[in-house]
Chain A
């Protein structure tokens, strides 16, 4: 509430703009509400979903498009990735003896 209201002017304006009895007006609006469906919950729910859902959907679409547009590299071969010996990584699984830890142990 403000402290420096011009009370005289305020009262004169209030009288000038006075609409009279509010009961008829309130009844009229309530009658309109009665004929309208119980809209608040439905529309509020929908609009609150839309407020969050639309930006989220746009972000997901943009991220998906970005990922699809990235150049694809061929998947790395396990053989190439493992120790680059001539036997390749497969020898680890096929050799009857234990793996030789020498190359690692001798590394300075």
Chain B
């Protein structure tokens, strides 16, 4: 059959015959094929472990990002309460970036979850086929004349060979996807190391490269809207406990918690 299916079939069949051509006598073909199946099964297991590792790594990043979102939001509120709108804006811009990152991590984790499930299903299926092949192999070796065995071996080996090619393909695709995500996660980690998501209290005066990058990355309208909302919340006085009406403002991000009579005014945060 021509078309998509035709090309695909030709490629897979070529692969299988290459596999079967390696061995000369029938029982050697059986053993060789069986050995290859076991190897493949090991590889699939390794592949699954790889996907799981990548997933855990992304989950860790996700958790960090989640904490940063909360922290930056708090810092924005504190800055605003202290009357430092510029700092509040910067905090919200960073929060915006972290949030976008969080969403992207979410969908990547879901994707990896799906890859893991698919590979586990593949492994299960391959295991069943190998078991089937193993018992067939013994029967063929024991019961058939050379000529008949040849035919049966070729049938069984082709069937299992096709499954192997397919599992190999599935694994390749899953690992490619995982690899892409890992590369992306590494890039983000580097950005993080460069301070993109860093705590604002660590931010020195003046504007650095990252600030400029940030400004490009985050949509300023979104930040503006959020800033307005925050101002309104703080302004109406219905703000959650722990907000200051207006601080003496010099300590920027270190606005003290609500009740000043609760000692230690200088190092605001717990």
Does A pair with B?
no
